[in-house]
Amino acid sequence: MTPRQLLLSLALLPTALAASAEANLPSWRDGAAKQAIVEFIRDVTDKDSKNFVPTAERVAVFDNDGTLWSEQPVYFQAAFMLDRLKAAAPEHPEWKSNPAYEALIARDEAQLARIGMKPVLELLAVANTGMTTEEYGAALKAWLRTAVHPRFQRPYTDLVYRPMQELLAYLREQGFQTWIVSGGGIEFMRAWTEDAYGIPPGQVVGSIAETKFELRGGNPVLVREPSVAFVDDGPGKPVGIYRAIGRRPIAAFGNSDGDLQMLQYAAVGEGRRLAVIIHHDDTEREYAYDRDSRIGRLDKALDEAKARKWVVVSMKDDWKKIYPFEEAK
Amino acid sequence: MTPRQLLLSLALLPTALAASAEANLPSWRDGAAKQAIVEFIRDVTDKDSKNFVPTAERVAVFDNDGTLWSEQPVYFQAAFMLDRLKAAAPEHPEWKSNPAYEALIARDEAQLARIGMKPVLELLAVANTGMTTEEYGAALKAWLRTAVHPRFQRPYTDLVYRPMQELLAYLREQGFQTWIVSGGGIEFMRAWTEDAYGIPPGQVVGSIAETKFELRGGNPVLVREPSVAFVDDGPGKPVGIYRAIGRRPIAAFGNSDGDLQMLQYAAVGEGRRLAVIIHHDDTEREYAYDRDSRIGRLDKALDEAKARKWVVVSMKDDWKKIYPFEEAK
């Protein structure tokens, strides 16, 4: 390359990067949100920028429910657990006289509120523990193949957000590690996140059931216990990040108050950081909810986003398509 | 390439692989141990083998103390904690009348045995908690720069095993993920494992102190608490693997009874698996200990290795050199 060619290629660089983002993020509309995300990526990967971040430290964390896929009308994991409860019912005739079981099956929210969480969780624990982690994983995969979402009448794994799939791939192409940090159970996610997002089991951080090592008939297994070892939600998310990743992320993506501390942990501090909130404001293509929602409530984190000038993505305005199966519009 | 050239290149393949292992493992002597390890790697990475394992599932786990670096005369982390105790002593005049403190400083094992572990652990907890994880990491790095091993009079991080560094790099070159799964504390390892072994913080599994998220003067931090969240030892190791990796390893390396369940979890089951025990039998260059050692006791796991025909590496016979600073012999 001649010096002149070198200069020319350098002059073309920002354009080339913009073209690359354009090619890699086709489901994102041009606008402030996309621009802020792309400009952040450009800046921290630019060797000549004062904000350059070496590859090893390019850690981006993503909430899952409501950030990478839908979470309405109930967290999809709750649908799985309820189906497991129904499947296990024939072996538990005693449940018929259990008010928590009746209320769950009838989805009687008033009755559930009267009963309280404890008997409900105990019941779900009985239906979802005692088996090995491998048996649990197999049950989960079988469920994912057959269960359908009540509104969209499609497998739950169809309801991932296409723009976020594109962004995950683009970040990895730019040398980022992409991690999920979710309040959901680790196995529930690990069964499908590699296919859906390109995120392997070892980069899925989530809530964890106690498990116990056993040699069962000479075969080494881990058996699920009916107690919770770790809740990866709210202030638990930075703790989960610390335990599993061991580096403070420079970018975080969430959609609810359960992500507030993770967003703070990643975005408040020295150096260039990125905090993004996915705002559910599209009743037509997905759902619209924030401050008053029972699921995925976004209230304090929305105030914090405004105060700290975090990026707020409007699903309605910033995304050409939401689900992979949609036509772009 | 002509068909004849193709056939020729295939015929040369095993030789090429053997040459590659030779070039990559120069500190290993030819012998049964090296041969078993190299043959395992060749087999599971050979697309035409019935034992072929896809890249995503090539997970290898390594104990740290006594497997990747030395652990005598005391676990190096214990030396760090003791030094921290001494450093914190001026701020704690009340310790002078604390029998646990006196016994620790004097290394009075008989007295420590009389006192029991609880007061000792409480004391160490006070000296090692209350600070943020970042402050703790900084203290650790400062200690690693100045502390020297009592016998070798070198920084502790010099006492890593050269043959294992070579093996880690070789496994990664062959598409394996290499993870540490240690009873030691995660921060203690993360401060140096990337430099020493090429293993990043997110692939270090270990024991974990409780931490609490706080905004300290507006700055998001995690504060170490004086309680233990998880002990990654013995039957805890498969649990740690499950939580952090989410896949059953196909190869495991350990050196003591604390690794027994990890070795079983990785090696007992269908498909080709590799379990390796590093046997400390070299008084001259390192240490010799097994069934009767207080640190790194190797008793049940040695019996199991014999029964199951696991690979037992003799440090004396199988390694040309032990530490990177040695001349090969």
pLDDT tens-digit series, residues A33-84: 999 999 999 999 999 999 999 999 999 999 999 999 999 998 999 899 889 8
Residues B13 and B83 in one domain: no
Q: Does the structure show a pLDDT above 90 at B116?
A: no
Give residue B15's pLDDT.
57
- The two three-digit tokens of residue A125, written as one number: 């624990």
Closest CA to A179 of A256, A258, A234, A241: A241
- The two three-digit tokens of residue A50, written as one number: 């004062």
CATH code, domain with A55: 3.40.50.1000
Residues of A in Cβ contact (< 8 Å) with B261: 213, 220
Contact flag A242-B211 (C-beta cutoff 8 Å): yes
Domain with A114, as residue range(s), is: 76-146
Residues B183 and B291 in one domain: yes
Residues A135 and A197 in one domain: no
pLDDT tens, residue by residue, B75-106: 999 899 889 888 889 989 999 899 889 888 88
Domain presence at residue A327: no
Sequence-distant (6+) residues with CB within 8 A of B242 are A133, A211, A222
Q: Starting at the edge strand that comes first in sequence, how are the strands of the sheet with A204-216 ordered?
A: A219-230, A204-216, A177-185, A59-62, A251-254, A274-279, A311-314
Give residue B327's pLDDT.
79
Q: Which residue of B has its CA nearest to A132?
A: B242
Give residue A127's identity as a one-letter amino acid code. A
Contact flag A239-B211 (C-beta cutoff 8 Å): yes
Residues B167 and B18 in one domain: yes
Residues A89 and A134 in one domain: yes
Q: Does the structure show a pLDDT above 80 at B18?
A: no
Chain B nearest-CA distance from A48, in A, is: 25
Q: Does the structure show a pLDDT above 90 at B114?
A: no
Q: Which residue of A has its CA nearest to B208?
A: A243
Among the three residues B106, B125, B146, which one is the final residue of a domain in this structure?
A: B146
Sign of CA dihedral A68, A70, A74, A77: negative
pLDDT tens, residue by residue, A199-249: 999 999 999 999 999 999 999 999 999 888 999 999 999 999 999 999 999
Residues B105 and B212 in one domain: no
Domain presence at residue A98: yes
Among B59, B242, B268, B308, the strongest candidate for a mutation testing the A interface, having the largest count of A CBs within 10 A, is: B242
Closest CA to B304 of A134, A223, A216, A215: A215
Residues A136 and A28 in one domain: no
- Nearest-angstrom CA–CA distance, B181 and B248: 13
Reported as a pLDDT band with limits 50, 70 and 90, residue B2 is low
Reported as a pLDDT band with limits 50, 70 and 90, residue B117 is confident
Q: Does the structure show a pLDDT above 50 at B198?
A: yes
Contact flag B264-A238 (C-beta cutoff 8 Å): no
SS3 B63: coil
User: B208 pairs with which residues across the strands?
Assistant: B230
Residues of B in Cβ contact (< 8 Å) with A133: 242
Domain presence at residue B152: no
Contact flag B243-A190 (C-beta cutoff 8 Å): no
- The total number of structural domains in chain A stands at 2
B261 touches chain A (CB under 8 A): yes
Q: Which residue of B has its CA nearest to A133?
A: B242
Give residue A257's pLDDT.
97
Domain presence at residue B136: yes
Residues B211 and B242 in one domain: yes
pLDDT tens, residue by residue, A176-189: 999 999 999 999 99
Residues B243 and B266 in one domain: yes
Which of B194, B213, B235 comes nearest A238 by C-beta?
B213
> Which residue's entry shows tokens 């070159």?
B173
- Nearest-angstrom CA–CA distance, A236 and A96: 36
Contact flag A239-B268 (C-beta cutoff 8 Å): no
User: A181 pairs with which residues across the strands?
Assistant: A205
Q: Which residue of B has its CA nearest to A188?
A: B246
Give residue A2's pLDDT.
55
Domain presence at residue A151: no
Residues A111 and A260 in one domain: no
Q: Which residue of B has its CA nearest to A244?
A: B202
DSSP per residue over A262-275, as a string?
HHHHHHSSSS--EE
Among the three residues B92, B121, B146, which one is the final residue of a domain in this structure?
A: B146
Reported as a pLDDT band with limits 50, 70 and 90, residue A304 is very high
- The two three-digit tokens of residue A273, written as one number: 């950081």
- Nearest-angstrom CA–CA distance, B119 and B116: 7
Residues B55 and B202 in one domain: yes
Contact flag B211-A247 (C-beta cutoff 8 Å): no
Contact flag A211-B242 (C-beta cutoff 8 Å): yes
B222 touches chain A (CB under 8 A): yes
Residues A176 and A267 in one domain: yes
φ and ψ of B93, to 5 deg: -60, -25
Q: pTM here?
A: 0.91
Chain B nearest-CA distance from A275, in A, is: 14
Contact flag B261-A220 (C-beta cutoff 8 Å): yes
Domain presence at residue A225: yes
Residue numbers of B between 175 and 204 with CB closer than 8 Å to A:
177, 179, 186-187, 190, 194, 200-204
Among the three residues B146, B177, B196, which one is the final residue of a domain in this structure?
A: B146
Q: Does the structure show a pLDDT above 80 at B266?
A: yes
